[in-house]
């Protein structure tokens, strides 16, 4: 995942460099074995930061439009940021608790 993130971050920066406006980072919390939203809409290039407010470890997996990211283990209190650089619809889930799902639409 970290390797894949490193690939996506420069893409996000490239988007900024060519003048595409990127909105402020958005924070989604993981608490009570749920994401704080079930669906969100973000702008191309916007970063979503996932904050684990649970007592248990989580994981961030992003799938859709050719993307398959695995964020590895996210301990309680840990954060993980994902830049969404390509328009489309993505499913964010937790590999450990698959019931945790969030749909991200990138405009």
Partner 1 sequence: MKIMRVRFLTSLCLLLFACAAHAERPAALADFERPARVPAPRGNPMTPQKAALGQMLFFDPRLSGSGAISCASCHNPALAWGDGLPRGIGHMGTTLGRRSPTILDVAFGEPYFWDGRAASLEEQAKGPLGSKSEMNMQADAAIGRIAAMPAYQSAFEQAFPGQAISLDTIAAAIATFERTVVSGEAPFDRWVKGDEEAVSQSAKRGFVLFNGKANCAVCHAGWRMSDDGFHDIGLPDDDRGRAAIAPGIEQLEHAFKTPTLRNVSQRAPYMHNGTVATLAAVIDHYDTGFVRRPSLDTQMKPLGLTAEEKADLLAFLDTLTGTAAPATIPVLPH
Quote the CA–CA distance of 37 and 20 in Å, as a whole number: 26
Instruction: Pick from 67, 88, 96, 105 the residue near partner 1 by CB under 8 A.
Output: 96
Site for partner 1 in 73-92 (CB under 8 A): 73, 75
* Identified binder of partner 1 from the candidate list 70, 77, 79, 107, rule CB under 8 A: 70
Of residues 21 and 98, the one with the C-beta less far from partner 1: 98
By beta-carbon proximity to partner 1, the closer residue of 76 and 87 is 76
- Candidates 19-27, 41-49, 55-63, 81-89; binding stretch for partner 1 (CB under 8 A): 55-63
CA distance 67 to 102: 15
SS3 readout for 12-46: HHHHHHCCCCCCCCEEEEEECCEECCCEEEECCCC
Q: Are 81 and 48 in contact (CB under 8 A)?
A: yes
Q: Retrieve residue 50's tokens.
A: 């996932």
Task: Name the site residues for partner 1 (rule: CB under 8 A).
Answer: 1, 33, 55-57, 59, 61, 70, 72-73, 75, 94-99
């Amino acid at each position: 995942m970290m390797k894949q993130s490193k690939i996506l971050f420069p893409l996000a920066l490239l988007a900024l460099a060519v003048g595409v406006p990127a909105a402020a980072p958005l924070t989604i919390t993981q608490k009570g074995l749920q994401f704080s939203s079930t669906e969100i809409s973000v702008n191309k290039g916007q970063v979503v930061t996932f904050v684990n407010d649970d007592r248990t470890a989580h994981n961030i997996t992003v799938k859709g439009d050719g993307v398959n990211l695995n964020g590895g283990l996210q301990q309680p209190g840990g954060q993980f940021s994902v830049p969404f650089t390509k328009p489309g619809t993505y499913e964010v889930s937790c590999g450990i608790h698959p019931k945790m799902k969030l749909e991200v639409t990138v405009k």
